[in-house]
Structure 1
Amino acid sequence: MRALIVDDEQHVREGIKLLGQWDEQGIEEIFEAENGEEAIDLIQQYKPAIIFTDMKMPKMDGIQLLEWIKNNQPSSKTIVVTGYDDYHYMRKAIHFGSADYILKPIDPEILNHTLESAVADWKKEEASRKKDKSSHQLMNEMKPVYRDRKLTHLLNSQEVNKSLYEEFSFHVAQNYEVAIVRVNGKTIEAFQGDRDLAYFTVLNVINEILSEKQCGIGFRYLSNKGEIVIIFWDKFDQGDEILRCIYDALKRSIKVSCPMALGKLVHQSSKLIDSYKHAKQVLLSRNVLDQKEQRVYIKENEEQASLTNLMDYSSSIERVVQAGEMRAFDEVIEQILKEFKETGFLSLKQLLHFEKEYQVMSHRWLKKYHVPYSVTDQIEKQIDFFFDKNGAFQLDQYIDRKKREISLFLKIVKRHSLQKNKNVIYEIEQYLQANFDRDVKLQEIAERFYLSREYISRKFKQEFDENISDYLVKIRMNKAKSLLKNSQLKIYEIANMIGYQDDKYFRKVFKKIEGITPNEYRASHI
């Protein structure tokens, strides 16, 4: 296995080489590059499994390199190492699939934990890649991908490639209609999170019915996540009926509702995108609160003409944030939802609009109160979670979740206000003193004190000149020395009292730290 370290500073590259436990992870060769351009040459030549990269470099920076790796060497696991604790860099690292994000100066414990996780993930994926190398399986996997790509291009362009006629039995017709089938999170869950298997199964059901009717073709629409598109070229008078047939077949097969919408009739292939856009509006205008058995939508719902804006309540929301009272928030939320609860109508478009505004406002709050957290921009994914298997939106559960998020935010703001007058690192040290007799994980500390693991590790070492794990051992040894002065206590009892289940391991650690065995220490102090 090979690794590559990309950084324009030589001492950083040498530091990573020195601190990394390479032999333990089975990494036999380590290469170095000063910038992205040099890195690409080495990646093409040696195909390293693990790549450490800085973000700010001359010629080609880390963001450009990560994008190139994602497109050209996606099997490599990338780990960003940077001195910039910047949300933009972190977001880009996540976007391009980085395994982790480490801040300089590098903590050996964090470095090796990250390296171990990246190697484990790479080995797992490599085993899967080897298993799937058979040419027959590869061809079967590529056929639907190729079809989806070609038909997505057809929908988005104004010309039809003649090869489509023969490859996919696509029919040239005078008229067309486009329908959208929504594949949400519940559908993916039905296949244990296997997205590709979910699409494969849903498309098989759809195309089997369309083939029998000889009226259209379905494909995964690659321009928009969570959508399957159907292009009808015949039997337009039966479009509603065929979609209901497909809906029922999918519900029987996967036990999950897949909402569908039918677009308007268009008279040439170059207008397919217009039919798609109309179907999208029909889908967005649907009432997510209704309890209908079949969620097939043929026409746009005009019950709610204008959208309600959260921003109209921004001054009220700002006041309750400043007050830090959750009860005041409850009143504002109920005021906003009053109309929707009374009428029983809430369009998907309105719901997405609410979620988008909520994300914008959350980001503004986090920035204003200097809270080092980020908000997700995956709006539809956030909402998908609250649709049940029958496709009905669980409004009360959604509101409860938002209330918990807001409550947590208020606690975070309060804690950050207190931290202005307190050194949180010394709070962490006191927490270790109080919990020395159990295995305190860095993640536990991060969640308790609302700080990142990297920040805690870096600041703790600056304050105490030791990493957290070594400091915890020191606390335990000091406690052990105190307990050893009591001749009534057995060695194994003392080991258990300070958090070691194995007294042999305790004896080994004690001798390593103190230079003598526990028995020798006891003999010299009693």
Structure 2
Amino acid sequence: MRALIVDDEKHVREGIKLLADWEGNEITEIYEASNGEDAIKIIRSLNPEIIFSDMKMPKLDGTQLLKWMDEHYCEGKTIVVTGYDDYHYMRKAMHYGSSDYLLKPIDPEMLNDTLIRVVKEWKEEEKERINKRSKNQLINKMKPAYRDQKLTQIINNVPVDKFVWEEFRLTKATAYTIGLLQVSNIAVEQFGGDKDITFFTLLNIINEQLSKKSGGIAFRYITSKGEIVLLLKKNKKESLIIAKEIQINIQQLLGLTCTIALGLEVNSAVQLSLSYQHAKSMIMNRNVLRNNQEKIVMDNDEKEIKSLMDYGSSIKIAIQTGEMDAFHSLIGQIQTDFIQKQQLCLRQLFHLENEYQMISTRWYKEFNLPFSLPTDLEERVHSFIDKEDVFQLEAYKDRKKREIALFLRRVKRQNKRTSKNIIQEIEKYIKMNFHREIKLQEISERFYISREYISRKFKQEYHINISEYLVSIRIQKAQELLENSNLKVYDIANMIGYQDDKYFRKVFKKIVGISPNEYREKKK
């Protein structure tokens, strides 16, 4: 703790320094001032907890110092020390909150009793101040969450206590209008990706403007991500003026262009959800491709939503080609069909993105490829809206082209691995069934692959066609039987799949160079 002794007489200051039990009261720093002006400078810079002050001093006397402290530094505890036993001075001291009034010459015992009591009072008051600050900090921290929750309930027609309306000063309005602002990803990025800070800043700007106009209150709509709702206590015409002023402020302070949709003008709380739904419809149906359009949306037509599913067969053909060029023309066709007169609404974009993910999931499963679904489809769309609140179509298309190209590369790798594995399975199947006649059609039907594909891939893998490979397996088995058994040649021929032993002998000699009997004699 710190103490300040204010007196124009040096020997008085020295006496207090000498007589007081500083250490016992945990006071480690002691400062001096000869008048009220110097004392104020020290108080401002060092914030001493205990101040001893004379009443009669030059420049600025004790009464004036006490008055200044009462207005600017009420945390400090003051003990008046004076040579004047005057009721006028005592009354002034008590009026401005002095803790005690000591007369000179100072009695050491009285001085220390007073110091102990005043230090104790300061500690108790400081504890209360700390608790109060903590509570205030908690309340301030919780206020936005409380506000957002209660006002979201109002918009959603959830019954709330009457005092909530009074608390947010929403009563005594003849008309209400809901304004809706969607917070873009570019705004969040401007605040280092922190959504809470983004909303906090935007809401401060908006609510400051609304407070000046007694226009209502803005809050974070917790039912839907990325939305700020303006609950305006104004009719539609007045709401339009306020919305434009808010837009200008956000542009000037943050460099962001935001679109605000205004819902229906209503005259009761139960109709607020209707006003919100109308504003939401305005936002979803607004054209996101033009920069020069009005950023206050008050009315627009419901747009026809087109389906990406209508292009299912074209997508299948493009995938089967395995080439990105097929998708370039398809994407161009979809763009032509979906965008007419440079018009593309947010609702269509969300629908398009949702169907795109469904189709992607289907084809990833079709080729047994690992995939993960994005957690927030709307955010994927919003990430392509720039600071002018315009959708970057070319950037969006480039992103889709990269995703499709990656898919095609994975399909090719998968097909390469799969075809190799299947050919190896076919080779095993031939080895297991070499003793009977195996037709290419049988293999094709068993492995669900065309005969042409099997023939081509088998020869690429083993550098020999299937019929030649089957013969080589049979002759190899015949050699083993000739070496290790006394079976007749015609029995061996039957065992390895030849019904005609003469034909077997002919094939054997062609491959081995000698007849079966000669081979047996040679191996004895």
Per the normalisation by structure 2, the TM-score is: 0.53
Q: Deviations over 1:63-99 (max 9, x none)?
A: xxxxxxxxxxxxxxxxxxxxxxxxxxxxxxxxxxxxx
Which one of the candidate residues 317, 321, 338 is aligned to 1:323?
321
The letter for the 2-side match of 1:307 is I
What is the deviation of 1:179?
Answer: 1.0
User: Within 5 A, what are the aligned runs for 1:46-57?
Assistant: none
What is the deviation of 1:135?
Answer: 4.8
Distance 2:310 2:225 in 1: 30
Counterpart of 2:142 in structure 1 is 142
Counterpart of 2:231 in structure 1 is 231
Q: Deviations over 1:19-71 (max 9, x none)?
A: xxxxxxxxxxxxxxxxxxxxxxxxxxxxxxxxxxxxxxxxxxxxxxxxxxxxx
Which one of the candidate residues 294, 309, 312 is aligned to 2:310?
312
The letter for the 1-side match of 2:230 is I
Distance 2:342 2:293 in 1: 17
SS at match of 1:399: helix
* Structure-2 change in CA distance of 1:160 and 1:234 (3 Å): farther
* Structure-2 change in CA distance of 1:207 and 1:215 (3 Å): same
Distance 1:262 1:229 in 2: 10
Counterpart of 1:338 in structure 2 is 336
Distance 2:158 2:372 in 1: 40
Counterpart of 1:349 in structure 2 is 347
SS at match of 1:264: strand
Distance 2:322 2:138 in 1: 56
The letter for the 1-side match of 2:243 is L
Distance 1:172 1:154 in 2: 16
User: Within 5 A, what are the aligned runs for 1:375-390?
Assistant: 375-390=373-388
Asked whether the 8 Å contact 1:247–1:294 carries over to 2, the reply is no
What is the deviation of 1:273?
Answer: 0.8
Q: Deviations over 1:267-300 (max 9, x none)?
A: 3211211111110110111111111275221112
What is the deviation of 1:251?
Answer: 1.4
- Bigger radius of gyration: 2
* Structure-2 change in CA distance of 1:172 and 1:321 (3 Å): farther
Distance 1:152 1:229 in 2: 9
**1:168 has 2:168 as partner:** yes
Distance 1:323 1:372 in 2: 21
SS at match of 1:315: helix
**1:372 has 2:370 as partner:** yes
Counterpart of 2:199 in structure 1 is 199
**1:213 has 2:194 as partner:** no
Asked whether the 8 Å contact 2:177–2:235 carries over to 1, the reply is no
How many corresponding residue pairs?
A: 289
Distance 1:370 1:422 in 2: 16
**1:245 has 2:264 as partner:** no
Q: Deviations over 1:121-171 (max 9, x none)?
A: xxxxxxxxxxxx955443322111111111111111253421213322222
The letter for the 2-side match of 1:225 is K
The letter for the 1-side match of 2:359 is M
- Which 5+ residue runs of structure 2 have no aligned equivalent? 1-132, 422-524
What is the deviation of 1:408?
Answer: 0.3
* Structure-2 change in CA distance of 1:134 and 1:370 (3 Å): farther
What is the deviation of 1:385?
Answer: 1.5
* Structure-2 change in CA distance of 1:316 and 1:293 (3 Å): closer
Distance 1:212 1:235 in 2: 17
Counterpart of 2:462 in structure 1 is none
Q: Deviations over 1:2-28 (max 9, x none)?
A: xxxxxxxxxxxxxxxxxxxxxxxxxxx
Distance 1:365 1:138 in 2: 51
What is the deviation of 1:349?
Answer: 1.1
SS at match of 2:264: coil
Counterpart of 1:418 in structure 2 is 416
What is the deviation of 1:198?
Answer: 0.8
The letter for the 2-side match of 1:354 is L
Distance 2:327 2:256 in 1: 34
Distance 1:282 1:341 in 2: 19
Distance 1:172 1:335 in 2: 55
What is the deviation of 1:354?
Answer: 0.8
Asked whether the 8 Å contact 1:265–1:275 carries over to 2, the reply is yes
Counterpart of 1:180 in structure 2 is 180
The letter for the 1-side match of 2:238 is Q
Counterpart of 1:516 in structure 2 is none
The letter for the 1-side match of 2:197 is L
Asked whether the 8 Å contact 1:160–1:269 carries over to 2, the reply is no
Distance 2:134 2:160 in 1: 33
More deviation in 162-171 or 190-199?
Answer: 162-171
Distance 1:346 1:183 in 2: 19
Asked whether the 8 Å contact 1:177–1:266 carries over to 2, the reply is yes
Counterpart of 1:289 in structure 2 is 289
SS at match of 2:166: helix
* Structure-2 change in CA distance of 1:174 and 1:161 (3 Å): farther
Asked whether the 8 Å contact 1:183–1:227 carries over to 2, the reply is yes
What is the deviation of 1:339?
Answer: 4.3
Distance 2:181 2:340 in 1: 30
Distance 2:293 2:248 in 1: 10
SS at match of 1:420: helix
* Structure-2 change in CA distance of 1:322 and 1:377 (3 Å): farther
User: Within 5 A, what are the aligned runs for 1:458-473?
Assistant: none
Asked whether the 8 Å contact 1:158–1:271 carries over to 2, the reply is no
CA RMSD of aligned residues (A): 1.9
What is the deviation of 1:325?
Answer: 1.2
Among the aligned pairs, what percent are the same residue? 42
Distance 1:349 1:285 in 2: 6
Distance 1:207 1:372 in 2: 47
What is the deviation of 1:372?
Answer: 1.1
Distance 1:134 1:321 in 2: 62
What is the deviation of 1:321?
Answer: 1.0
The letter for the 2-side match of 1:381 is E
What is the deviation of 1:377?
Answer: 4.0
Distance 1:370 1:168 in 2: 56
Asked whether the 8 Å contact 1:159–1:269 carries over to 2, the reply is no
Asked whether the 8 Å contact 2:364–2:370 carries over to 1, the reply is yes
The letter for the 2-side match of 1:337 is Q
